[in-house]
Structure 1
Amino acid sequence: MSSNCLLDIENLQVSFFTPAGEVKAVSGVSYTLDHGEVLGIVGESGSGKSVSAYTLMGIIADPGKVVGGTVEFNGHHIEKMKEKEFRKMRGSEVSIIFQDPMTSLNPVYTIGSQLTEMLRLHTDKSRAECKARAIELLGLVGMNEPEKRMKQYPHEFSGGMRQRVMIAMALACEPKLLIADEPTTALDVTIQAQILELMVELKKKINMSIILITHDLGVVSDVCDRIAVMYAGKIVEIGSTDDIFYNPKHCYTVGLLNSVPKIHEQGHERLIPIEGTTIDLLNPPAGCPFASRCSQCMKICLKQMPEFTEISPGHKSACWLLQKEQFEKAGEGNAQ
């Protein structure tokens, strides 16, 4: 783990043990995150995006368990930590913004009491200092009349304002890592842009790293430094934002990009959907999880999961087609 590396996840495996059997929600996920970096994790619902990130905070709901792999974050070995240790770390070192701010805020307490509670739990500030810091945070996230807002309840705020409160709460103790779990899903396009811009500005101010979880490729295009594409509990491609958008190599990544409307296209163009349905994680296939939906599926795709193929430094994809291309190129080179 390099000195600039904040998070190092290696072969993470998370399962949910249900009466029907073991659901392998995350199967062998590995990635790193540097200080001040923004990593986007994209994929459809059920791909394991949120579960892999929730592991960092120890908030995987029962009957979920980490069954394998290592997670090293800021000197902590997450897979070995107890609940008491997680409580100290949450909020102070790593924070999270959940998808729906209305269900994340307590409707019977004022915004001010919820913000100051966070500060009292994780700092040694006095009540007056906590109140002053809470007002400062509301101003920092662009809330007008922050002192007045402290006395109001969540139902008096719009969706965008509630999300700003959640960001203020997450940043209260200036964490080293912010996990944003679909933070703009319930918001209109204008407010989405404001929230994303706000997160980037705040990241620069406190040199914070961000993991942005979303199924919306438009969200990650302007914000993220790197993108990991997940499908059925596995990372199938990872690289810089330019790599993923302009040189996608996995058939699933190509499918996601083809299903996004292109505003620069002339006339009318039909979107190309990804055919088929996701696999059953109770009985995952032996081979590539995307094989049953892939138009270029080969026999080996159904039998064995491919290793990652490096396309360029930092850009790699797990696809048998890439290994086939490399084998053919090597054969041509030997023939010459």
Structure 2
Amino acid sequence: MNDYLVDIQNEKLSFFTPAGEVKALNDVSLFVREGEVLGIVGESGSGKSVTAYSLMGLIESPGRLIGGDLYFNGHHINEMKEREMRKIRGNEVSIIFQDPMTSLNPVFTVGNQIMEAILLHTGKNKKQAHERATELLQLVGINEPVKRLKQYPHELSGGMRQRVMIAMALACEPKLLIADEPTTALDVTIQAQILELLAELKTKFGMATILITHDLGVVAGICDRISVMYAGKIVESGTTDDIFYRPSHEYTKGLLLSVPNLNEDEHQKLMPIEGQPVDMLNPPLGCPFAPRCRSCMKICLKTMPEYTHLGGEHYSACWLLDKVKFENREEQL
């Protein structure tokens, strides 16, 4: 194991459904250092959330880890029992789920739900837990925190509910915060406020963060590194500058081209990625993006390319990047 806070090595995870095996993750490897922000981007169904949930031991039947190793803060997640996972969940690692509208329990007050984690993982009594919950609401920018603790989720706006979710996640000052689409269903002004809050909290607590999103604009200003996922594979990874200014995989380029650019001519058309996402019940033999790639070659359909090192921490899995390997494999086919 390396000196990383998170170290996922060659993870393979499938869902065994009546229709067949859905290969949700196929040989995924990534790492996160202490205090670092990693962005995982990709379209819906690419495996972003499954990767995060597997790290927290939240994958249930019919999902099953069938290969690879997952390490977090010295723990070998593969070998941990549910009883052991409960001790680190919410304590050493916390998650902000996708939808703040449905993530909070509607029949309990906000205070009750924040205090639950504090009482479970710390030695604080009820009075101390209430004081800590008040502190947390102040920390995430909620006004009149004492009043808010007595309210139910339906009495709060979407932005305030998301702030409550962040407060709950920070209750025990975790080493890792997983933010799964934290700006979903929020308007752009509130999105900007939530992202600014996450950046401030990262600086204040020095905690590592995994930010999961399909929106490249979300990761641009907050992430140190980015991993681009497609059909259960990481197709490219590198620093934020690598991904935005030196994209090398055709899927990454397609994502960037489909984002509006304020510097372009007002009549410039967006270039969507054509085609349909991969059927994960029957994934292609080669590069999963090949059927939608405008630069697709025969070898792309038959053989998955290895990662090409492009300097620093920049890696990409594309046949177009390694002419020597490509020519050698073409001779064998």
| TM-score, scaled to structure 1 | 0.96
Please tell me whether residue 223 in structure 1 is matched to residue 198 in structure 2: no
The residue number in structure 1 matching 2:267 is 268
**Partner of residue 316, structure 1:** 315
SS of the aligned residue for 2:210 comes to strand
Q: Which residue of 1 aligns with 2:330?
A: none
Q: Match for residue 290 of structure 2? A: 291
- Larger displacement relative to structure 2 (317-326 or 272-281): 317-326
Q: Gapped runs of 5+ residues in structure 2?
A: 328-333
Partner of 1:181: 180
**Correspondence list, 1:166-205, <5 A:** 166-205=165-204
Identity %: 69
CA deviation profile, 1:289-311 (whole Å, cap 9, x unmatched): 00000111111101100000011
Partner of 1:332 in structure 2?
Answer: none
1:148 corresponds in structure 2 to 147
How many angstroms apart in 2 are the aligned matches of 1:64 and 1:190? 37
The secondary structure found in structure 1 opposite 2:253 is helix
After superposition, the C-alpha distances for 1:194-237 in whole angstroms (9 at most, x for unaligned) are 10111111111111000000000000000100000000000000
Please name the residue that 1:136 is paired with.
135
Query: TM-score scaled by structure 2?
Result: 0.96
Residues 1:61 and 2:64 aligned together: no
State the match for 2:118 in structure 1.
119
Taking the aligned partners of 1:298 and 1:190, their CA distance within structure 2 comes to 43
CA distance in 1, matches of 2:118, 2:141: 19
User: What residue number does 2:105 align with?
Assistant: 106
Task: Give the superposition deviation at 1:61.
Answer: 3.2
Cα distance in 2 for partners of 1:167, 1:121 equals 17
Deviations 1:85-125 (A, max 9, x none): 11111000000000111211111111011111111111110
Deviates more, 1:97-106 or 1:33-42: 97-106
Q: Give the match for residue 233 of structure 1.
A: 232
- Alpha-carbon contact 2:319-2:326 (below 8 Å) kept: no
Q: Give the Å deviation of 1:62.
A: 2.0
C-alpha contact (below 8 Å) 2:7/2:71 kept by paired residues: yes
Distance 2:38 2:289 in 1: 23
Query: Equivalent residue of 1:119, what SS?
Result: helix
Does 1:36 pair with 2:35?
A: yes
Name the counterpart of 1:206.
205
SS of the equivalent of 1:190 reads helix
8 Å contact from structure 2 (residues 36, 209) kept in 1: yes
Q: Does structure 1 residue 160 correspond to structure 2 residue 164? A: no
Distance 1:267 1:52 in 2: 38
Q: Is the 8 A contact 2:109 2:153 kept in 1?
A: yes
Contact 2:178 2:211 in 1 (8 A): yes
Q: Aligned letter for 2:34?
A: H
Distance 1:232 1:105 in 2: 30
Distance 1:327 1:291, change over 3 A: closer
State the AA in 2 paired with 1:259.
S
Letter in 1 for 2:232: G
Structure 1 unmatched ranges of 5 or more: 329-336
Instruction: Give the residue type in structure 2 aligned to 1:157.
Output: L
- 1:97 matches 2:96: yes
1:131-162 deviation per Cα after TM superposition (whole angstroms, max 9, x unaligned): 00000000000000101111111001000000
Counterparts of 2:233 and 2:119, CA distance in 1: 39
CA distance in 2, matches of 1:158, 1:324: 54
In 2, the alpha carbon distance for the partners of 1:237 and 1:53 equals 18
Aligned counterparts of 1:138 and 1:152: Cα–Cα separation in 2: 13
- Residue 331 of structure 2 aligns with which residue? none
- Output the CA distance in 1 between the equivalents of 2:192 and 2:213: 14
Cα deviation, residue 327, structure 1: 7.2
Aligned length: 327
